[in-house]
Structure 1
């Protein structure tokens, strides 16, 4: 991997250094920056491109102890020991060749005599100089004067941007880096190229950075390899034991309240560590905390702490923290971690609460670890319930079911029944697919639980189940009743919002979901972070389906902010929301990249059912770009998620198939599938999706759905359905003025590919009427919008781009010929006779003067992959 690391372009800094070195008046540059920032690499990159000899010297702490130590190779053996004579000899030999460039690496380590020589050369403009200096280190006055007095240009090298870091890592790994992993790497390396390289190589070596379906994911702690350890330990070696004592405490518990840290190691030690730049402080308005100035320092310091010493130190920290405010979730989680790691006693209720906190933050691996520790310490059903949820979300349903299977419901009270029954029913219903058994458990709870608050939790969970079975009206009504209660339990609120987030947007009530989403956002604590993330996904889809794409995109970005790789499942759900908005906007390449990252993050031992919405939208993105093969692959993967527990998604599945058919040239089939999607959606009360499916049918060439869309205008909130209806009516009447107007409406709302289709559908109408100029204008508009959608293609756009005197059916049949189908196979696919197919081929050949069916397909479709 080492030979693949490259310095990313730093064009501004490169130009500055090169200009300073090639200045006719001499001079040069001093590159200043942190260790590992790339000073040496950049300076050598510049000098290697110069047509001049370069004399490079590298300063070290050992050379600093020797007068003229780094310039010793240029001192004549016979030179006098007199300092002036030594300076003269070194200078004469250094500059013996004309136009020599002097390069000094780590110039802050120059001894006084060497610094004097460099200063003289600069003052005399005897040779261009390029030197590097590390920030935070004492620099000899003679070197500082080089840029202060204007002899050399000071060039500051700043950390790489996040975009540069990602590009560098993806170049090295030759693959896509998951967004969440990229965030963590960038924050951990602080944009330092050397730190980034060591982090990536260490993580690959440790197996925490791995490739899943073409996406590189960081899972687990970052690993610091020996090379970086040596670099950081050299820095640490300069500090005394009090500072190291401070760092060791912080390495075991970070961030740490500064007053607690001072009580543990002393104020002087804390101040010394801060002044040395090893730690930094921050305030949250209530307290001041200390943490490492660089995240990787903690990993290096932890290597210096043995197991026994670590347990003892953790014990001291635990004693100091037992009296802290445990009403704060982060305090509970970190104290629980510390106690588990050190073997310190901790109240099991506190440990279970910390596990719930971790799950609420979507940190499922941590939640599992803490819940398992509580379960093994006799935490009973309370610990088992949290452990089950943490394991279930991570795609291990059998293990999740086994955790609860040993509990006898006949021995449980009402609260315990709910704690046991809802997670077990969730496992059976969603992940195992045993719908009947899931309903049996929910019925058991309904029969035995009488407490009003607990019954609300059951009702809300049943609402979510009903929604997934495509009983939309029933699910919405049940969830709304729960939320209408004066003070429903938080768990009931979460389940009800989950049910409504998946149902209201597709039912055409996206605007009604806004206050529910706001209530969920304002809730201080959720019972399950993944359910909260699903609710947020519902918020994004509600805004998307009502046509407020700008706010949908803003919310999706806000919901995607996670800080730990352990939150990868929550991040993946949020990323699906971002990808969905990008798909509707027509940013298909962005959507594909995001979807593939999210699906890779959701990879698990058992296929996770919540991958399905992403897969179905991803099919549409691939199909829009004409990549039928990839669309077919994703649709085949989506077909493993079927059954009554996922009936909610059947209209989207049909829409995905319609898009695949359209991208394959089967326009008639695409229309039929879109209509079928609309029928399924209508029967379930998914009126927004019914309208969308009918809109797709219109785009694929259906002129019969205008009345049906008009009837949906009053049943779906937002302006989108009304625009769909106007589009269908305009297309049915062949009204080019109305098609042009509706194209503008689609563009204004952000649906660019729909705008392209509306414009494209006017092209053949203008052609038929002989309006060539208007036809060209409509085609240009359609193709411009298609280009803005990453070159997307649809049947209407294809027809506008290649206007031919053939019918839609003839075009569809020639597309199937281009894909290698025989006349009989085409007839079977289109449900017509072979003679009908042959007749269409004959008429198309006559129109285009084609000799045979193969030439006909080539004329229309070119090199379409078979």
Structure 2
């Protein structure tokens, strides 16, 4: 389903609506017949507004929205629907004739508007579609819509990786598998961030065409866009003793052991308590969000980056550990995901990866049925070592199993000719 109205927040043509068919039917059903409506919640950028906009498309729907600057003005969100001076009782009477009302950014409503929405839900004459951002300070009258069981709540889940791939491939061309994985990992379901990153990558000329393909790939640093800064402001503003140094060390070297001499344990405990880092079962410390590392690295000055940065050679031990974990999973036919951030970082930002690791990654991807990923990993290995037989074999197997033609990187062509 593709729409052509400009997005009210970005003034750009929206991406095709995809991957939310079940949620769309649920929202539509909630405002049909004798239903009273629904509250849709989720983190910023999750696609809440787009979902409800699609749900009411073609209907007679009144719309209001909260804004940060009008939280102190009574009934500010309803100014276009109500007379200048009105009581809550009179406002309920005036709006009772509205059959369907969409309230966007309800967490930003002024108290009077929030009370009005609550009373409309109590009276039940107006069907309500309420959108609120999770984690934001929300008026009690709004949160009581679902905690008081006046309206059901739909907590919007992140768009799955497969649907993210469909969304990215909706245009004339789309990204290859490792780029899809990287974008999905960085954005964690934040569709606004996803769009901004893709636009920034394109505008800066960073994509390169995959040979003999209509796909493109993105390698290199993450562009620090306005939305990226907004999403990571709480991280960049850390000023506690040792906090920024600890975060930067993790950004340039994660995962690190919790007892590493270079980490400030007091700062680490505070960061863990606030959800900015997490410690895995093996005792290794990671930044909590995949976007945090690239942003912290981009924000570091040249001297700081030179002091903290690791080189591909310095990652050899960590990469070998990841290769061993993947090899064990293959031997045991264990298709559960294996965390391997070092290999992903080398491909994404360092321009190359050892062919042995690439071949193992490709084989593991084939075991999981991820044939496009398998082909992409084997291509990366062949770029580094054009004559590597394991990568060539994995690329051929991925192509054969998917039914796709075998297109090798140009640097691997001589090797391919010998076979």
Task: Give the TM-score taking structure 1 as reference length.
Answer: 0.38
The residue number in structure 1 matching 2:403 is: 591
- Structure number with higher strand proportion: 2
Residues 63, 69 of structure 1: 8 Å contact kept: yes
Q: 1:297 to 1:91 in 2, by over 3 A?
A: farther
The residue number in structure 2 matching 1:283 is: 280
1:168-221 C-alpha deviation (Å, 9 max, x unpaired)? 11113x224322222222222223322221221122223222223322112223
Question: Aligned partners of 2:22, 2:38: CA distance in 1, in Å?
Answer: 13
Match of 2:289 among 294, 307, 323: 294
Question: Aligned partners of 1:124, 1:207: CA distance in 2, in Å?
Answer: 55
Matched, 1:63 2:63: no
Matched, 1:160 2:159: yes
Residues 199, 223 of structure 1: 8 Å contact kept: yes
The residue number in structure 2 matching 1:44 is: 53
Q: 1:129 to 1:248 in 2, by over 3 A?
A: farther
Residues 201, 225 of structure 1: 8 Å contact kept: no
CA-CA distance at 1:297 after TM superposition: 3.3
Question: Aligned partners of 1:536, 1:298: CA distance in 2, in Å?
Answer: 22
The residue number in structure 1 matching 2:318 is: 330
SS at match of 1:131: strand
SS at match of 2:29: helix
CA-CA distance at 1:568 after TM superposition: 7.4
Question: Aligned partners of 1:536, 1:305: CA distance in 2, in Å?
Answer: 31
The residue number in structure 2 matching 1:196 is: 194
Residues 254, 286 of structure 2: 8 Å contact kept: yes
CA-CA distance at 1:328 after TM superposition: 7.1
CA-CA distance at 1:235 after TM superposition: 5.4
Residues 37, 159 of structure 1: 8 Å contact kept: yes
The residue number in structure 2 matching 1:12 is: 22
SS at match of 1:281: strand
Matched, 1:53 2:61: yes
What are the residue-to-residue correspondences of 1:595-634 with 2, within 5 Å? 595-596=406-407, 599=408, 602-604=409-411, 608-610=413-415, 612=416
SS at match of 1:49: coil
SS at match of 2:279: strand
CA-CA distance at 1:19 after TM superposition: 0.8
Residues 179, 218 of structure 2: 8 Å contact kept: yes
Q: 1:133 to 1:581 in 2, by over 3 A?
A: same
Q: 1:179 to 1:125 in 2, by over 3 A?
A: same
What are the residue-to-residue correspondences of 1:159-238 with 2, within 5 Å? 159-172=158-171, 174-212=172-210, 213=212, 214-226=214-226, 228-232=227-231
What are the residue-to-residue correspondences of 1:674-713 with 2, within 5 Å? none
Q: 1:275 to 1:57 in 2, by over 3 A?
A: farther
Question: Aligned partners of 1:564, 1:37: CA distance in 2, in Å?
Answer: 33
Residues 180, 568 of structure 1: 8 Å contact kept: no
CA-CA distance at 1:156 after TM superposition: 2.0
Question: Aligned partners of 2:120, 2:395: CA distance in 1, in Å?
Answer: 59
Q: 1:64 to 1:275 in 2, by over 3 A?
A: farther
The residue number in structure 2 matching 1:136 is: 135
Residues 74, 90 of structure 1: 8 Å contact kept: no
Aligned residues: 378
SS at match of 1:592: coil
Q: 1:188 to 1:157 in 2, by over 3 A?
A: same
CA-CA distance at 1:139 after TM superposition: 2.9
CA-CA distance at 1:223 after TM superposition: 2.3
RMSD after superposition: 4.3
The residue number in structure 1 matching 2:5 is: none
Q: 1:89 to 1:603 in 2, by over 3 A?
A: farther
CA-CA distance at 1:108 after TM superposition: 2.0
The residue number in structure 2 matching 1:101 is: 100
Q: 1:139 to 1:276 in 2, by over 3 A?
A: farther
Question: Aligned partners of 1:535, 1:331: CA distance in 2, in Å?
Answer: 12
CA-CA distance at 1:134 after TM superposition: 1.8
Which structure is richer in relative contact order (CA contacts within 8 A, separation 6 or more)? 2
1:581-600 C-alpha deviation (Å, 9 max, x unpaired)? 4676xx6xx3216x34xx2x
Q: 1:532 to 1:108 in 2, by over 3 A?
A: closer
Q: 1:307 to 1:87 in 2, by over 3 A?
A: farther
1:468-503 C-alpha deviation (Å, 9 max, x unpaired)? xxxxxxxxxxxxxxxxxxxxxxxxxxxxxxxxxxxx
Question: Aligned partners of 2:383, 2:41: CA distance in 1, in Å?
Answer: 41
CA-CA distance at 1:305 after TM superposition: 3.9
Question: Aligned partners of 1:271, 1:145: CA distance in 2, in Å?
Answer: 34
Q: 1:367 to 1:210 in 2, by over 3 A?
A: closer
CA-CA distance at 1:60 after TM superposition: 2.7
Q: 1:67 to 1:568 in 2, by over 3 A?
A: farther
The residue number in structure 2 matching 1:31 is: 40
Question: Aligned partners of 1:60, 1:253: CA distance in 2, in Å?
Answer: 40
Question: Aligned partners of 1:535, 1:251: CA distance in 2, in Å?
Answer: 26
The residue number in structure 2 matching 1:395 is: none
The residue number in structure 2 matching 1:530 is: 355
1:42-79 C-alpha deviation (Å, 9 max, x unpaired)? 111112232x232x2222332223343323444423x2
Residues 186, 290 of structure 2: 8 Å contact kept: yes
Question: Aligned partners of 2:222, 2:378: CA distance in 1, in Å?
Answer: 11
Q: 1:117 to 1:39 in 2, by over 3 A?
A: same
Residues 562, 571 of structure 1: 8 Å contact kept: no
Residues 366, 566 of structure 1: 8 Å contact kept: no
CA-CA distance at 1:110 after TM superposition: 2.5
The residue number in structure 1 matching 2:338 is: none
SS at match of 1:560: helix
The residue number in structure 1 matching 2:334 is: none
SS at match of 1:3: coil
Residues 37, 151 of structure 2: 8 Å contact kept: yes
Task: Give the TM-score taking structure 2 as reference length.
Answer: 0.73
Q: 1:367 to 1:327 in 2, by over 3 A?
A: closer
CA-CA distance at 1:284 after TM superposition: 4.8
Question: Aligned partners of 2:15, 2:127: CA distance in 1, in Å?
Answer: 29
The residue number in structure 2 matching 1:242 is: 240
Q: 1:41 to 1:271 in 2, by over 3 A?
A: farther
- Structure number with higher helix proportion: 1
The residue number in structure 2 matching 1:515 is: none
The residue number in structure 2 matching 1:455 is: none
